């Protein structure tokens, strides 16, 4: 539960059940009451009571399918398409992505802007204008803009609202993003999280993997991040940060890394590493990243060799993840996923060569279908989950 308050054990049970039912509807909508009962193990009366609360909160509606020859038509529960507008934003060194959807993730607008997050003040102005446009222009949505949810590629202090540290974007360090946005859009709830964690949630949101899956998600941007999603939520480190997967040392005397160490994985297997191999001396930016992804779709000899090198090193990192956690699935997301599209077989084979036979799996590693939008969808997933607490 979000707020600290004294509640009875009966109330705790009611909320736990409500969470189970809501999460099941999010993962499997449209779904009947009986199927919710089967999936959650809750009895039919409890499910009916929880569903009533969600119907009263207008998060869901009942949807009766056409009458069948076999008797009474089943009634399904579906998310309320008109509940409200969700805005998910990923701040990234290469470009900022703004995604606007309804509660089921149907896109109202997608915008990619390579410049807006270079200056925090510009970001605040643009996001505020965006929210105001949607707040007034779409009366069919019952709650207008439900929330703005932002993923950051670094540390964020929940207590103060301050961006603590983004390695490649020092202009954000010490900037109070929550306070500044509140000044412009005081009535809109704001949510913040780390990009890697958001990416994992985006995968579950897109239903490529079941909500119950143990998933390791690789955030393949300029560097590499890792988050682990298990039993319906992400595993959060003690500082709220995603795993610094890219700084796993794979060669103690290897290439120098910006972190001060040598031989970090991301110096060999990332968009930055591809840039170094193919365009030495050119600084990585949105344009160069787009060029690399475009070239990877139809690779020439040099590109093929560079991708093979990335797969060779990345598979070491992936085998290490499997040896530590053995998740059911590993997803490669964002730009690195886009560059490696179509290479799933090669990647799985390279990983399996490094593993003992009994944990090999030819389909464990896959590439996200969400391309660079995974973290933005994860932002929307976070808000959608939180809407339950308004109904309590
Ligand atoms: Zn490093």
Question: 204 C-alpha to center of ligand 1: Å?
Answer: 29
pLDDT digits (tens, 9 = 90+) for 258-272: 889 999 999 999 999
Burial 348-386 (b: 16+ CB within 10 A, else e): bebbbeebeeeeeeeebbbbbebebbbbbbbbbbbbbbe
Question: 168 C-alpha to center of ligand 1: Å?
Answer: 13
HSE on the CB side for 84, CA within 13 Å? 19
Question: With contact defined as beta carbons under 8 Å apart, do 151 and 378 qualify?
Answer: yes
User: What pLDDT score does 5 carry?
Assistant: 63
- CA dist 218 and 206 (Å) reads 16
Same fold, 9-79 and 85-199+375-391: no
**DSSP structural state of residue 372:** G
Question: 156 C-alpha to center of ligand 1: Å?
Answer: 21
User: What pLDDT score does 239 carry?
Assistant: 59
Question: 262 C-alpha to center of ligand 1: Å?
Answer: 7
Written as six digits, the tokens of 38 are 């089967």
User: What pLDDT score does 6 carry?
Assistant: 74
- CA dist 286 and 214 (Å) reads 32
User: What pLDDT score does 7 carry?
Assistant: 77
Question: With contact defined as beta carbons under 8 Å apart, do 356 and 78 qualify?
Answer: no
pLDDT digits (tens, 9 = 90+) for 8-28: 888 889 999 999 999 899 989
- Helices 301-325, 271-278: inter-axial angle, 10-degree rounding: 150
Largest CA distance in the chain: 72
Q: What is the CATH number of domain 214-368?
A: 3.30.420.40
- CA dist 336 and 320 (Å) reads 18
Question: 246 C-alpha to center of ligand 1: Å?
Answer: 7
- Give which of 374, 246, 362, 259 is closest to 310, Cα–Cα: 246
- Between the CA atoms of 29, 31, 37 and 42, what dihedral angle is there, to the nearest 10 degrees? 30
- CA dist 36 and 17 (Å) reads 11
Question: 248 C-alpha to center of ligand 1: Å?
Answer: 7
- Give which of 25, 15, 14, 1 is closest to 384, Cα–Cα: 25
- CA dist 62 and 73 (Å) reads 12
Question: 242 C-alpha to center of ligand 1: Å?
Answer: 15
Question: 249 C-alpha to center of ligand 1: Å?
Answer: 7
Question: 377 C-alpha to center of ligand 1: Å?
Answer: 28
**DSSP codes of every residue in 222-241:** SSEEEEEEETTEE---TTSP
User: What pLDDT score does 1 carry?
Assistant: 45
pLDDT < 70 regions, the chain: 1-5, 67-70, 236-242
242 alpha carbon, distance to own chain's centre: 12
At the topology level of CATH, where does 85-199+375-391 sit?
Answer: Nucleotidyltransferase; domain 5 (3.30.420)
Edge-to-edge order in the sheet of strand 96-101: 107-113, 96-101, 85-90, 145-152, 190-194
285-290: Cβ within 8 A, 24+ apart: 285/94, 285/114, 286/94, 286/95, 286/114, 287/114, 289/94, 289/335
Distances (CA, A) of 95 to 59, 62, 107, 172, 298: 33, 40, 19, 15, 23
Q: Name the residue ranges covered by the structural domains of the chain.
A: 9-79, 85-199+375-391, 214-368
**DSSP codes of every residue in 58-115:** TSEEEEEPPPBTTBSPPEEEEE-TTS-EEEEEE--SS-EEEEEE-TT--EEEEEEESS
Q: Which residues surround ligand 1, an ion (CB under 5 A)?
A: 247, 257, 259, 261, 264
SS3 content of the chain, % helix, strand, coil (to 5): 45, 20, 35
Question: 380 C-alpha to center of ligand 1: Å?
Answer: 31
Architecture of the 9-79 domain: Orthogonal Bundle (1.10)
**DSSP structural state of residue 208:** S
Question: 259 C-alpha to center of ligand 1: Å?
Answer: 4
Question: 84 C-alpha to center of ligand 1: Å?
Answer: 42
Question: With contact defined as beta carbons under 8 Å apart, do 337 and 370 qualify?
Answer: no
């Amino acid at each position: 539960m979000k707020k600290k308050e004294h509640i009875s054990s009966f109330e705790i049970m009611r909320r736990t059940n409500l969470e189970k039912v809501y999460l099941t509807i999010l993962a499997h909508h449209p779904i009947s009451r009986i199927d919710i009962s089967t999936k959650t193990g809750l009895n039919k009366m409890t499910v009916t009571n929880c569903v009533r609360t969600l119907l009263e909160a207008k998060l869901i509606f009942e949807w009766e399918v056409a009458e069948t020859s076999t008797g009474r038509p089943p009634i399904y529960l579906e998310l309320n398409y008109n509940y409200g507008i969700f805005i998910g934003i990923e701040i990234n060194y290469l470009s900022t992505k703004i995604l606007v959807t309804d509660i089921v993730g149907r896109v109202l607008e997608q915008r990619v802007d390579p410049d807006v997050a270079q200056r925090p003040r510009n970001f605040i102005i643009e996001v505020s204008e965006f929210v105001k446009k949607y707040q007034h222009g779409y009366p069919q949505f019952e709650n207008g803009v439900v929330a703005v949810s932002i993923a950051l590629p670094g540390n964020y202090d929940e207590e103060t609202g301050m961006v603590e540290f983004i390695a490649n974007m020092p202009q954000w360090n010490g900037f109070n993003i929550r306070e500044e946005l509140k000044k412009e859009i005081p009535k809109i709830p704001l949510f913040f999280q780390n990009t890697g964690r958001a990416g994992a949630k985006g995968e579950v949101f897109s239903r490529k993997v079941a909500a119950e899956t143990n998933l390791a998600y690789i955030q393949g941007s300029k560097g590499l991040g890792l988050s682990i999603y298990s039993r319906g939520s992400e595993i959060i480190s003690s500082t709220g940060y995603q795993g610094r997967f890219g700084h796993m040392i794979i060669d103690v005397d290897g290439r120098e890394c910006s972190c001060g160490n040598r031989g970090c994985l991301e110096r060999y297997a990332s968009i930055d590493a591809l840039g170094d191999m193919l365009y030495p001396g050119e600084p990585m930016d949105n344009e160069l990243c787009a060029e690399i992804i475009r070239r990877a779709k139809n690779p020439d000899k040099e590109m093929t060799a560079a991708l093979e090198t990335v797969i060779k090193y990345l598979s070491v990192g992936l085998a290490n993840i499997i040896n530590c956690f053995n998740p059911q699935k590993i997803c490669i997301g964002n730009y690195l996923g886009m560059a490696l599209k179509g290479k799933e077989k090669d990647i799985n084979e390279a990983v399996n060569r490094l593993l003992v036979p009994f944990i090999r799996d030819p389909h464990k590693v896959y590439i996200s279908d969400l391309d660079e939008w995974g973290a933005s969808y994860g932002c929307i997933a976070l808000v959608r989950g939180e809407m339950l607490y308004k109904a309590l």
